[in-house]
Structure 1
Amino acid sequence: MENSLNDPIPTDVPSGSDTSNALRSVHTSNLPEILSQLGITLLVTTYQAGKLVMLRPENGVLNTHFRLFDKPMGMAVQPNRIAIGTAMQVWQFHNIPAVCTRLDTAREATDELPAREASPHPHDACFLPRVAHWTGDIDIHEMVWIDDDVVFINTRFSCLARRSGKFNFEPVWRPSFITNYIPGDCCHLNGMAVRDGKVDCVTALGQTDQPGGWRANKKDGGVLIDVASQEIIASGLSMPHSPRWYNGKLYLLHSGTGGFGVIDPATGKYESIIELPGFTRGLSFCGPLAFIGLSQVRETAVFGGVPIAERELKERTCGVWVINIETGQIVAFVKFEDVVQEIFAVEVLQGSTYPELVNEDRELLGASYELPDSALADVPPELRR
């Protein structure tokens, strides 16, 4: 993989269910090759634009494929299942590879349905919806798979929660300084790191149980909290987000400065790796590379007084930056323009370079069935794929 940056080039024509607000972007010429070599797709959410963006390599350029959602934020991603937190729901999608052949074959138009063009590139995964769980407006932030359950940051109620078959959500943990479950976004709990199959630590923007209390000291009131012990691992952080354990190190985004670095759990010291030209939020890894979301931060009410917001607007940008964690160098980037001004989550989808996610094609969803093997054995061969 090249570590040098080439002149940015435009992406290919964006695709998706809404072409009126195209995702204009430019990327370094080496980014598609990096994704191809790693065998991955980048999934990116932007609640401001209401889109899930799939960054896929295609014939040497970056294909920015998108799907519309209502305020998509956190994601939990595994090779064959994806969960997405939206304004009031958690959507769960499963990969049904057999549907790829239908995506790659042109469909003739009928009186009821428009023609679907054949895909210009063969799909290697197709995610269809399986569960839509209604949470209410709880401002879902980061999400992870823990075994077969989805655990998420319930920012509005200042707690960790999971889905429930009976309730909107089931609280599973809260910081010791949160005395009650109230919909007040008291400490702006926002990110979590998983270790040994459990949520190990979380980030918050303040230590207060008053509604909106974190805003009073947002510049440097951020903390990293150990979940098991309730101890504060690190404090004095500027709007920290996206803690991650990776290769034995605890990484974190020092978002208020545009920073990316590591935390020493023994001392709580933050060591910067690099500062980037935007509000850093959303972090995922593959091999020696970190994929980091950047937002332009235009909201002065939220970000006023924070270091990154004091930079000139032209010095702040939105996109995904690729950093070599061994050298601290920028390897590649994709920069969004116009419609997309903020990024929330960035996740690596392993083992797929050209996936599809279907959430609006009623004909395809209505005629695609997944059955248990025991039942599939009694389906005529011509109907099985």
Structure 2
Amino acid sequence: MSSALPPFSCTYTPNMPALLQSLQCSVALSTYQAGKVIFLSADKQGGLRQLPRNFDKPMGMCYHNGRMALATQHEVVVLSNGAGLAKEYAQKPGYYDALFVPRASYYTGTVDMHDIAWDVQGRLWGVNTLFSCLVHITDEYSFTPAWTPPFISSLVSEDRCHLNGMCMVDGVPKYVTMFGQSDVQKGWRPGVTTGGLLMDVQTNEVILDNLPMPHTPRYFNGQLYCLLSATGELVQVDVANKTYEVISRSNGFVRGMDMIGDYLFVGLSKQRSKSSEKRTLPVAQQPLECGIDIIHLPTRQIVGNIRYLNGTEELYDVAVLPQMQQPGILNHTTPQHQRALHIPNGCFWRGDDETTQATQ
């Protein structure tokens, strides 16, 4: 069926374009399986527009104050929104209302970086899954270890606990998720569907254990949320009582989440065909779907969705881009970005023989 469709064909509920318009936002997805970052926006004809860009195994994403950071297979790429560049972008002049352009690359090496985020001091943090630690990402080292679970005895490239998710609270790392409390190489695998943990980074306290493949801890409006991938559940965590409540269930391996207004955008993935762990997941008792579910938190209802028919079967992260209804993005592997000049008081496109000033 999918072979006759254009790449990244998808279906979506009829309310999706209007919802994005009313929220005045677009949504970014990362799919390491397809090697793409995809921007989703409402188009001017009342439909849904997609803009995919090639990146090497993109995973964790974060957006803050006009900048986006993206963890890829060998590096972390930082892009900045040069909105003034959009008006004179040669491929589609006057079309975009934002344009993300690469501005820095940190060569971390292949460390299986998962979630990333900026802290209140502007430092970039990452979840270094291969070395089982949280790290600072700078231009001095491949990475600088900053926190390690207390049961990890040494810094080695053995993916001992499959540390994957990181949550900022008040601009500092606070909570993390992992698949198991193990201090041996890939020791989380035997109990992967039941041994997950949610931990407090600042106290080293285990908040929840025996979780079914937890991902994506996020703190919104004073509440802690988490995704339980093996059961397809979005949960709200009561930290004080060390309990959780199921908010909604999705028909997919849930991973990647962001919020705007009263709406949570949650990523779904299909069953990985070569993964023995996923064959026994509770959520995999029926065919899984790849896309996004939109949950209205006040009613706890799934009020819209997007479903991919081809092109990708696995998503990693979801990021909301506020106040952007037609954003564009350039990657760092093609020459277009080399012509984009963005300085504090202006934007310019550099041509072969001249420089064209764009609107700030």
Aligned position for 1:92: 78
**How far did residue 382 of structure 1 move?**
7.0
Aligned position for 1:234: 208
> What CA distance in whole angstroms lies between the structure 2 residues aligned with 1:269 and 1:130?
42
* Match 1:77 to one of 63, 80, 89: 63
Q: Does 1:343 align with 2:329?
A: no
The answer to which structure has the higher strand fraction is 2
When Rg is computed on C-alpha atoms for both structures, the one with the higher figure is 1
> What CA distance in whole angstroms lies between the structure 2 residues aligned with 1:373 and 1:32?
34
Asked if the contact 1:257–1:308 (Cα under 8 Å) also holds between the matched residues in 2, the reply is yes
Aligned position for 1:225: 199
**How far did residue 246 of structure 1 move?**
0.9
> What CA distance in whole angstroms lies between the structure 2 residues aligned with 1:282 and 1:334?
14
> What CA distance in whole angstroms lies between the structure 2 residues aligned with 1:239 and 1:153?
16
Cα deviation code 1:157-179 (max 9, x no counterpart): 01001112221001110100111
> What CA distance in whole angstroms lies between the structure 2 residues aligned with 1:354 and 1:331?
23
Aligned position for 2:351: none
Aligned residues: 347
Structure 2 unaligned segments of length 5 or more: list them: 349-353
Q: Does 1:367 align with 2:339?
A: yes
**How far did residue 276 of structure 1 move?**
0.8
Aligned position for 1:101: 87
Cα deviation code 1:202-250 (max 9, x no counterpart): 0011001111111111111011001011010011110011111111111
**How far did residue 339 of structure 1 move?**
2.0
Q: Does 1:324 align with 2:296?
A: yes
Runs in 1 of length 4+ with deviation above 6 angstroms?
A: none
Aligned residue for 2:28, secondary structure, equals strand
Structure 1 unaligned segments of length 5 or more: list them: 1-19, 108-115
Aligned position for 2:186: 212
* Match 1:144 to one of 97, 117, 121: 117
> What CA distance in whole angstroms lies between the structure 2 residues aligned with 1:239 and 1:33?
34
TM-score, normalised by the number of residues in structure 2: 0.92
Aligned residue for 1:301, secondary structure, equals coil
Aligned position for 1:12: none
Farther-moved stretch of structure 1 (40-49 vs 158-167):
158-167
Q: What is the aligned-residue RMSD (CA, Å)?
A: 2.1
> What CA distance in whole angstroms lies between the structure 2 residues aligned with 1:368 and 1:217?
49
CA gap 1:163/1:382 in 2 versus in 1, 3 angstroms? closer
Q: Does 1:356 align with 2:328?
A: yes
CA gap 1:191/1:381 in 2 versus in 1, 3 angstroms? closer
**How far did residue 363 of structure 1 move?**
5.1
Q: Does 1:45 align with 2:30?
A: yes
* Match 1:32 to one of 17, 29, 35: 17
**How far did residue 304 of structure 1 move?**
3.5
Aligned position for 1:110: none
CA gap 1:363/1:88 in 2 versus in 1, 3 angstroms? closer
Asked if the contact 1:140–1:154 (Cα under 8 Å) also holds between the matched residues in 2, the reply is yes
